[in-house]
Chains A and B, each alone.
Chain A
């Protein structure tokens, strides 16, 4: 039986206390994503106890759950109805103890993202505890809703700097009847070219990546549809491919082992390989690329920016890590706007201060 508890009033009290006493807090679920973002050593505000699925309507394709809910339990529940979270969330916890709230706050999506949409795309509504200590609801539990500004999606990837997520409503989708992975040996430039050429055709793609000289293409759909698509694509069929995709998704793949800094590079998908020495793993049909390099941060960011992309220091250490600049620098105008938005949601600067960018 999954845990189920509403501690929103307790959390609200804690935030009100923090406001009164000017004590900054860091929002913590199961602490599986503490590596992500800038370091924060302030008082923890634990939301792990705020958990449980509030409603799940398979025919409405909507689930609503509290932020501290176990992501794995949610996915297991959806699977009983042949459904899934379309964005294929990664699990970074050692025992897959990741929470829904942390995944939303970090804005993490997995291999299916370019073809089925991101975590932000499926967020329909949130209940959030702001830095003013107010519990507010935005969006809702229906697919189409344009009443009011889209504060729900604003929360995705905001790293808890705008509020404490309490409840999230998500659009879910049916699982495909079948999935197949085809493998091709080719060089990286050819892989990028092919991934993008195929993405421009009517094919049931659900993942595409390049690692170790191999291009992997996953297709999802009906048995008959996949057989035909695989025939058209060619390549070798890969058995037991689920393990491969989840290992890349969760960074358990051998590429992600070791201590060197790991960069997440987001570029227009057809961008040729960027001239940065290091090792690359290319995902999302070319749109998300993982880079291990010893090159200085500034140089990495400069070359990625020249390719119209942005670079995130996903995992690092020391100054080139949680103490330094993790996310791509914003233009002065955008930075000022971010600070004004932060101030409108968290005027006392008590929530996850400095987690995204220094000083706020």
Chain B
């Protein structure tokens, strides 16, 4: 039962928005039915496409008054279903907020609207020798508003941090339409660190309508070393050796053999296809510093048992080395009708046993896996290959994925390093957190959104849901339908 009438809501929205900013025909709603996690789909009741803060405010006030749930959406590239619409809710697209409002070169900040693409910020800053550091692999498409909502990472997190380390200020609308200015152009702000709380809050606490980000100077030089190993354990140990030597690479990535072969076949990056694992180690900084570190890292890799160590000869080769890594997901996607990308983080030293266990599970579930690993910061992306058209295969994949996440928790890690919980990992939240901790998350949400209208049902499970999840866990495999439907 809806507590509101759709026609009354539509009429109210039409009063505050231009006609083309309100969509409610099925064919118009279709593009919004899912985000990057396309296994989950739902048509929203209405899509709103505002282009001013005042319009967003007016939409929120209407929805607040009528008790209509609201899901905010940027480019829809998220991988955890955080922007999955609600069939009785409004999908609030911020795609029209595409202006870079200010590049302040003296203070090295950019003030942008939430719908600005991640890469567009770096492009706008490039003439001044500056860039925005976090670079999720979807950076040509994903928007900064979504990056803040998910606390997105990328391949340079160990040295340059996640989104939370690179955002200075936000303008946020609360569910009742109240504008909150959080942080600004200063390094800190009075009161609680609401900036940290908002970052990664997955659209549950407020709607981001403006973002101020930090810009960094482009390193004078960046160079990448590619090392091949005949054993993933050796490659993992080499990562520890580099860090123990006091070197923090700009990027430090590992791929296992299935991922190497897929990437090589796709982009011809020059990867050794017979290697059990490769490491890509990018060193950046001043010219002298990079020269020294390249020599040191080459030596460390050789001592660690690398079968091959190659330094990119020029920037073109450096970009080629990276192209393989950055295209790893779509490359793996070519091997199979569908793939499912996991996102756990583990303490790096547990990598060998985690990879071994994933291989065992892969055999058990009869689903191949390719592993791509942000080795520097322990963020593991196992890609499970499956075919959604084969009955039961998606369900098996999800169960397998759930096992991987629980494995990450068991070794002292977390179920999500950078993709968010969304709808996808909400069950595993019950494993990672105790009931009182989940209750405290709900309490935080309550302080921002007492009616629970912002992106309800995502990121933080209800205790009721956890009870069901726990019960189902006991009877694993006996479930007819996985995913949202079962709740």
Could you tell me which A residues sit within 8 Å of B by CB distance?
57-62, 82, 107, 113-114, 117-118, 120-121, 130, 134, 136-138, 140-151, 153-154, 156-158, 162, 173-175, 177, 196, 199-204, 221-222, 224-225, 227-229, 266-271, 284, 287-288, 308-310, 312, 327-331, 333-334, 337-338, 340-341, 343-345, 356-357
Contact = CB atoms under 8 A, between A and B. Distances in A.
A216 to B, nearest CB: 19
Contacts of B432: 147-148
B122 to A, nearest CB: 15
B200 A222 contact: no
A134 B436 contact: yes
B345 A136 contact: no
Contact of A146 (B109, B418, B436): B418
Given A146-B151, A147-B415, A153-B197, A268 B289 contact: no
B150 A146 contact: yes
B107 to A, nearest CB: 4
B4 interface: no
A138 B439 CA distance: 12
Interface in B190-209: 190-194, 196-197, 199-201, 204-205
B186 interface: yes
A310 B189 contact: yes
B415 A310 contact: no
B79 to A, nearest CB: 12
B217 A60 contact: no
B181 A331 contact: yes
Interface of B: 104-109, 128-130, 150-151, 153, 157-158, 161-162, 164-165, 174, 178-182, 184-194, 196-197, 199-201, 204-205, 217-221, 240, 243-244, 246-248, 285-289, 291-293, 345-349, 374, 376-379, 412-421, 425, 429, 432-434, 436-437, 440-441, 443-448, 459-460
Nearest to B162: A144
A241 to B, nearest CB: 20
A89 B166 CA distance: 21
A92 B308 CA distance: 51
Contacts of A151: 197, 440-441, 444
Given A60-B347, A144-B378, A310-B186, 5 more contacts: A147-B414, A200-B128, A221-B286, A227-B288, A334-B180
A266 B374 CA distance: 35
Contacts of B194: 154, 334, 337
B77 to A, nearest CB: 15
25 contacts: A120-B196, A130-B440, A137-B433, A138-B437, A140-B412, A144-B162, A144-B374, A144-B414, A148-B429, A173-B248, A174-B247, A200-B129, A202-B285, A221-B289, A225-B289, A266-B186, A268-B184, A269-B108, A270-B104, A310-B190, A330-B191, A331-B181, A334-B181, A341-B192, A356-B191
Contacts, number: 264
A154 to B, nearest CB: 5
A228 B377 contact: no
B200 A149 contact: yes
Contacts of A357: 191
Contacts of B247: 174
A174 B247 CA distance: 7
B417 A157 contact: no
B180 A142 contact: no
Contacts of A268: 104, 107, 109, 184-186
Nearest to B215: A200
A187 to B, nearest CB: 17
A142 B288 contact: no
Nearest to B243: A59
B348 A59 contact: yes
Contacts of A141: 347, 412
A250 to B, nearest CB: 19
A21 B421 CA distance: 40
Given A117-B165, A136-B436, A144 B157 contact: yes
Contacts of B345: 140, 142-145
Contacts of A203: 217, 286
A356 B347 CA distance: 36
B289 A147 contact: no
A58 B243 CA distance: 9
Contacts of B109: 268
Nearest to B440: A136
A148 B441 contact: yes
A146 B417 contact: yes
A137 B178 contact: no
